[in-house]
Structure 1
Amino acid sequence: MLSNKLHDALNAQINAELWSAYLYLSMSMDAEAKGLKGVANWFYIQFREEQDHARIFMNYLLSRDCEVKLAPIAEVRTAWSSPLEMFRDTLEHEKKVTAMINNLAAIAAEDKDFASSNMLVWFIDEQVEEEENARGMIAACEAVEGNKFGLYMLDKELAARAYATPSPLAAKE
């Protein structure tokens, strides 16, 4: 059985993952409205990943015979001045998510909840990747800043990004 503290924190994380999905969907729609279909694709895939992250946490709570408590999702921003601003916001957001995941790991360690600690390892590794990807996109956007052809080529490259089901969910399929 999970401690009340960890149970509440995991439910808060589910809400945070769904808020993240909503944020990335908003970024995708803003990019699409500006004709940046590749940037829109990149953020739409992020949207799907965040939904899956929430589902992994939900599945985990259910597997531990705990209630999943869905809460309202707070409003998100709807417009950005450029893809660079979107990716900078993405990095800052992912740093906050990393802090939340680290907090979950600390609670699990404090509780000596080895099953939860083990489950969270995947998310800890995922957050390293999320921050690295955002930093890479910032560097790419900075490299083409002010160059319309460069932005066009970057947008075409981002259009090729494909979705991959996260391994904790793929293993259940």
Structure 2
Amino acid sequence: MDNKKLLELLNKQYNFEIESAYIYKAMSLWAAKENWPGVANFLHQQALEEMFHASKLQNYLLDIDYDVKLTSIAEPKAEYSSLKEVFTEALEHEKQVTSNFMEIMKEAKEVSDYQTEIQAQWFLTEQVEEEATFNDLILTLERINDSAAGLFQFDAQLAQRSFSKPQA
């Protein structure tokens, strides 16, 4: 592939996926510290999923003979006021990921890079699920409205999540 802009967008997103894992890991650590083990598990699993996404992009870039470049990652936020804040920030982050892949898709279409379009389409499909998941979690927290029993059940439900590699 000769399109420098598209390659740079892909490399930037590769690094953003690693940063995403870092952000979710920090959220997971906050939840563990606050004694929300189920939420901590859910966010840890999310961090693993983001590293899978980074690996998928890395493999694609290597397959097309691109020299993948690692960039620095800022220290993630470590303190939150509530579970709702955590999941609201996670949703906003996922919306940024979606926007990034939309930009990749747009550039791939402009240069008729069908292979990259297919890669971007996989991620965009994944993003529909990601955003829906966080929207649902926020809605659940709003319905619970600080009910101790509801929060306990919410946490227990999130403890059940385990990462399984999606089908490519």
TM-score tier (shorter): over 0.9
CA RMSD for the aligned pairs? 0.8
1:23 correspondence with 2:13: no
2: CA distance between counterparts of 1:166 and 1:9?
Answer: 23
Q: How does 1:44-55 map onto structure 2 within 5 Å?
A: 44-55=44-55
Q: Name the residue aligned to 1:62.
A: 62
> Please, what TM-score do these two structures have when normalized by structure 2?
0.97
Counterpart of 1:84, as a letter, is K
Q: How does 1:4-43 map onto structure 2 within 5 Å?
A: 4-43=4-43
Q: Name the residue aligned to 2:109.
A: 109
User: Any idea what SS the aligned residue of 1:67 has?
Assistant: coil
User: Any idea what SS the aligned residue of 1:80 has?
Assistant: coil
Do the aligned partners of 1:2 and 1:64 also contact (CA within 8 Å) in 2?
A: no
1: CA distance between counterparts of 2:33 and 2:124?
Answer: 33
Q: 1:42 to 1:2 in 2, by over 3 A?
A: farther
Moved more, 142-151 or 53-62: 142-151
Q: Which runs of 5+ in 1 are unaligned?
A: 169-173
Counterpart of 2:72, as a letter, is P
1:96 correspondence with 2:96: yes
Structure 1, residues 109-164: CA drift from partner, whole Å, max 9, x if none? 11110111011111010111111000000011111122111100110111011211
Q: Name the residue aligned to 1:171.
A: none
Q: Give the aligned length.
A: 168
1: CA distance between counterparts of 2:75 and 2:163?
Answer: 25
Moved more, 47-56 or 1-10: 1-10
Q: Name the residue aligned to 2:73.
A: 73
2: CA distance between counterparts of 1:98 and 1:118?
Answer: 15
> Please, what TM-score do these two structures have when normalized by structure 1?
0.95
Q: Name the residue aligned to 1:133.
A: 133
Q: Name the residue aligned to 2:152.
A: 152
The percent identity for this pair of structures is 39
Counterpart of 1:111, as a letter, is V
Counterpart of 1:22, as a letter, is Y
